[in-house]
Amino acid sequence: MTDLPRNAVTRSAKLAALPLGFAGRTALGLGKRLGGKSAEIVAQEIQQRTAEQIFKILGELKGGAMKLGQALSIFEAALPPEIAGPYRATLTRLQDAAPPLPVATVHKVLTEQLGEDWRENFLEFQDRPTAAASIGQVHRAVWHDSRTVAVKIQYPGAGKALMSDFNQLARLGKLFGVLLPGLDIKSVLGELKERVGEELDYFKEAEAQHAFALEFKDDPDFCVPDVIAANEQILVTEWMDGTPLSKIITDGTKEQRDRAGLLLVRFLFSSPARVGMLHADPHPGNFRVLDDGRLGVLDYGAVNRLPDGYPPVFGRLTRLFNQGDMATVVQGLRDEGFILPHITIDGEALRGFLAPYVEATQVEEFTFSRAWLQAQAAGVTDLRPGNVVRQLNLPASYVLIHRVHAAGIGVLCQLGTTARFKDEVIRWVPGFAA
């Protein structure tokens, strides 16, 4: 089976190659310095080669390594395209083309989880999956009461593979410190490991999905299929038809793409206030546009529980940034842990980095586009020590929020959405409206 490289020896060997390779490159750098190269040039070469190896190996692995790569997407944008490009391509391929479990394995899992008489739960069960992802796959079936359902089955051994990845990645703190000196990688890994542990528990996913389904029942904008049955590794939910968001991206009209993007933003910003949770995996595969125009939302394995709603600090600092109070913004970022005490940062460089990401809150209507995103990435592809992105930290409590922001902007740029995003921020993000 090839969906996850679960052979422990193979996975450990790939990850273990990182620090060994780093030691070799450091020795090589020392040799070059003795040969007359400047320390800064040598440091940049080491960082570039370290980045190349990190992203190559993260891209080859699934599980914890892929989750870490997704969480670090903002830092990936700070790397030259020749390094990050192949990594992004590998991630996309892994997410979109996970090979399915053999039918015999599917039946074995169903027998183990539901008993020898598992077929009695279904009038029909399609052996071929309709979707496959990093830790499980989905089958269409007909429940015993004649409802069409989605049956999500976790890959055998997925949990063990994920935790093995994180245990290995935790040993690489020094390596990431060379590439991203402002990042507390241990805290990021700890938070990701805890959240991924929740993704593996389909009971927790069922609880989250049911809460969303109750809140958005009969909503004019959104549809969330409710949960029918669940255990730790099997999740049965209502089936939802609709046009995949990926098809709207490629074939949708401008009107369809604008509406889909606006609804995506509205769903992500409103759900902490309405449900006390944030859907934390907003990639196109998790969304459908229904025939009645509503946005259907799937997959609640990754959610950020925010019982007090969206953190007001984002709205407050965005408002202060727009008002030109950069000193208070820098201090606010320090207070929240985005800039660690030992890091000195250039306020104007930080302003230049942050400006594009708050641009949509400064105008009545804004258009996200691939060209806009490429321009922002081009502005930070610099491995010199003073690069602002490399000086920033990602506090553990904001790991999933960042994941949502980065992925959400990516989807909006794919859609090319033009919409009144500022109105959504005013309505749903606390602290933005003075």
Query: Residue range 340-353: average pLDDT?
Result: 86
Instruction: Please give the pLDDT value at position 113.
Output: 87
Instruction: Please give the pLDDT value at position 67.
Output: 63
Query: Residue range 155-165: average pLDDT?
Result: 76
Instruction: Please give the pLDDT value at position 406.
Output: 81
CA neighbours closer than 13 Å in the CB half-sphere of residue 312: 5
Helix (H) or strand (E) holding 152: strand 148-154
Q: Which of 101-105, 226-230, 404-408 has the highest mean pLDDT?
A: 226-230
Q: Which residues contact 138 (CB under 8 A, 6 or more apart)?
A: 129, 130, 131, 132, 150, 151, 152, 153
> What is the model's pTM?
0.78
| 172 vs 231, more confident | 231
Instruction: Please give the pLDDT value at position 294.
Output: 98
Q: Could you report the per-residue pLDDT of 114-127, keeping only the tens digit for each?
A: 889 899 999 999 99
| 224 vs 96, more confident | 224
Q: Compute the distance between CA of residue 374 and CA of residue 73 in angstroms, rounded to an integer.
A: 14
Average pLDDT along the chain = 79
Alpha-carbon Rg of the chain, whole angstroms? 23
Q: Compute the distance between CA of residue 381 and CA of residue 349 in angstroms, rounded to an integer.
A: 13
Query: Residue range 322-343: average pLDDT?
Result: 93
Position 184 pLDDT exceeds 80 = no
Q: Could you report the per-residue pLDDT of 290-305, keeping only the tens digit for each?
A: 999 999 999 998 899 9
Instruction: Please give the pLDDT value at position 379.
Output: 55
Q: Which residues contact 115 (CB under 8 A, 6 or more apart)?
A: none
DSSP state of 172: G
Instruction: Please give the pLDDT value at position 69.
Output: 59
Strand residue runs (E) in 172-273: 222-223, 227-230, 234-238, 243-244
Q: Which of 186-190, 253-257, 310-314 has the highest mean pLDDT?
A: 253-257
Q: Compute the distance between CA of residue 79 and CA of residue 93 in angstroms, rounded to an integer.
A: 20
Tell me the C-alpha to C-alpha distance, in Å, between residue 46 and each of 25, 52, 87, 179: 6, 10, 18, 9
Q: Would you say 273 and 310 are in contact if contact means Cβ atoms under 8 Å apart? A: yes
- Residue at token pair 């020392």: 30
Instruction: Please give the pLDDT value at position 53.
Output: 59
Instruction: Please give the pLDDT value at position 119.
Output: 93
